[in-house]
Amino acid sequence: MPLYEYRCEEDGTTIELLRPMAEADAPVDDPSGRGRSFKRVQSSFLTGESKTGRSDRNASRPHGGGCPCCTPRGCA
């Protein structure tokens, strides 16, 4: 089940909920019971890229892991 992020339109409080995709945009009840309304927002996440633009997993590979010679065990 996907994790979705919702923000309160009144005070900016953010909550995360595990919901089926079919219910992603359905209304969300205020977990604190104060009657606030929450709207789904686009979530952001860390991709793990280094300053060079290559992920840490591929940083030691000469081609950055993006070429046919780069295998899970290293460059051929």
Q: Describe the chain by its helix, strand, coil percentages, rounded to 5.
A: 10, 30, 65
**pLDDT value of residue 69:** 63
pLDDT > 90? residue 68: no
In a domain, 23, yes or no: yes
In a domain, 14, yes or no: yes
In a domain, 6, yes or no: yes
Q: How far apart are CA 34 and CA 55, in angstroms?
A: 43
**pLDDT value of residue 8:** 93
In a domain, 66, yes or no: no
pLDDT > 90? residue 74: no
The span from the first CA to the last CA of the chain, in angstroms, equals 38
In a domain, 51, yes or no: no
In a domain, 67, yes or no: no
Whether the CB-CB separation of 28 and 17 falls below 8 Å is answered with: yes
**Structural domain of residue 2, as residue ranges?**
1-42
In a domain, 16, yes or no: yes
In a domain, 32, yes or no: yes
The structural domain count of the chain equals 1
Say what the pTM is.
0.55
Q: What is the pLDDT of residues 9-67, one digit of tens each?
A: 899 999 999 999 999 999 898 989 999 999 999 877 655 655 655 555 555 555 555 56
